[in-house]
Amino acid sequence: MKQCLVISGATVQLAPAARLSFSRLSSSVSKSPRNSNDLRSVPCSISNLKYSRSLDAAMSFDAEAKLENSWDEKESLTIGIVGFGNFGQFLARRFVEAGHTVIGTSRGDYTEDARGIGAEFFADIDDFCEQHPDVVVLSSSILSLDSVIRSLPVQRLKRSTLFVDVLSVKVFPKNLLLEVLPKEVDILCTHPMFGPDSGKGSWDGLNFMYEPVRIGTSKDRQDRMEKFIGFFRSQGCRMVEMTCEEHDKAAASTQFITHSVGRTLGAMNLERTDIDTKGYESLMSLVENTTNDSFELYYGLFLYNPNATQELERLEQAFDQVKRRLFQRLHEKLRENLHINLE
């Protein structure tokens, strides 16, 4: 890891013992009166010296500056995906097809899967960060995000990195990322409202929810975010900007119920026949779309959605109500036929 002192314009590489931690440095830099979102050239005084931390932990200052500036000149982004499972690979495939460079890391080893997609896999999280992706997409399970983000060596990334989460719940990651990530990095919370099954064909008209939670005002940071969400727009997605709070309120009675009904029908082991109606085909698609997702995902929707328990109860009550109506009608008919008069 290289860090540099700039003394009267000269750049001196610091010995390991003299290095400042990223967090200490961040707090000193953020006291600067200048725009705290654009820290590339913000000087700050430490022991009467002008200190400027290298932007990129592993490269010379010049190289880092070039790297930092290069992404707004090029059309493509280097996108790092943390959590290279079902959904991470689904996104990676489309990013690569659109010409972006994709690197991945995960708990398991997905070297071969990444190669098949045209991406590169780094089993070592430090190696992953030292590739200095423009964007880090967090695609781990809802339940593991806390430990994943806390164990990420953020100091090895470019300090202006854009973090994007794609979790199916939104208030939880928003609060977590704001709490854990240094304020120099940008945060964009998103939820592509489709997955590997529902989005296996065209993404035309599929909803993409996003909230720019904390994006620096400088042009390069704004452009980078635009470039990232522009990818989804270019795929035909219907772009919906809303807050994470609004998302979770709406998703409680849409997403969670969809998954619950799909899983309930899935538990019935329904089968296709030669004379399926369109309605039944839709139900079978629902079963496939929901049961192909991990149970961990469904449990995450339940655990991190404050309205989920209530929605589950409402679903149960509605089912009982429908069942009661059927049996009530049946009982009336039986009584009629049996000439039973209860009056």
Judged by CB under 6 A, does residue 27 bind ligand NAP? no
Q: Are 24 and 14 spatial neighbours (Cβ–Cβ below 8 Å)?
A: no
* Residues in 189-228 that interact with ligand NAP by CB under 6 A: 192, 195
Nearer to ligand NAP, 77 or 166 (CB): 166
Taking the complex as a whole, how short is the minimal distance between the CB of residue 307 and ligand NAP, in angstroms?
Answer: 17
Q: Are 3 and 19 spatial neighbours (Cβ–Cβ below 8 Å)?
A: yes
Burial 302-335 (b: 16+ CB within 10 A, else e): bebbeebeebeeebeeeeeeeeeeeeeeeeeeee
Judged by CB under 6 A, does residue 166 bind ligand NAP? yes
Q: Are 13 and 57 spatial neighbours (Cβ–Cβ below 8 Å)?
A: no
Taking the complex as a whole, how short is the minimal distance between the CB of residue 221 and ligand NAP, in angstroms?
Answer: 24
Query: Between the CA of residue 339 and those of 110, 328, 332, 333, 335, what are the distances in Å?
Result: 70, 16, 10, 10, 6
Judged by CB under 6 A, does residue 51 bind ligand NAP? no
Q: Which of 117, 137, 157, 167: binder of ligand NAP (CB under 6 A)?
A: 167
Q: Which of 118, 1, 105, 18 is nearest to 54 (CA)?
A: 1
Q: What x-and-dash track marks residues 234-253 binding ligand NAP by CB under 6 A?
A: --------------------
Q: What x-and-dash track marks residues 287-306 binding ligand NAP by CB under 6 A?
A: ------xx-xx---------
Q: Which of 18, 27, 70, 108: binder of ligand NAP (CB under 6 A)?
A: 108
Judged by CB under 6 A, does residue 255 bind ligand NAP? no
Q: Which of 236, 212, 234, 237 is nearest to 225 (CA)?
A: 212
Nearer to ligand NAP, 160 or 305 (CB): 305
* Residues in 123-142 that interact with ligand NAP by CB under 6 A: 139-142
Starting at the edge strand that comes first in sequence, how are the strands of the sheet with 49-51 ordered? 10-13, 4-7, 49-51, 44-46
Which residue of this chain has its Cβ atom nearest to ligand NAP in the complex? 195
Q: Which of 93, 94, 107, 238: binder of ligand NAP (CB under 6 A)?
A: 107
Judged by CB under 6 A, does residue 88 bind ligand NAP? yes
Judged by CB under 6 A, does residue 83 bind ligand NAP? yes
Residues that bind ligand NAP (CB under 6 A): 83-88, 106-108, 139-142, 144, 147-148, 166-168, 192, 195, 293-294, 296-297
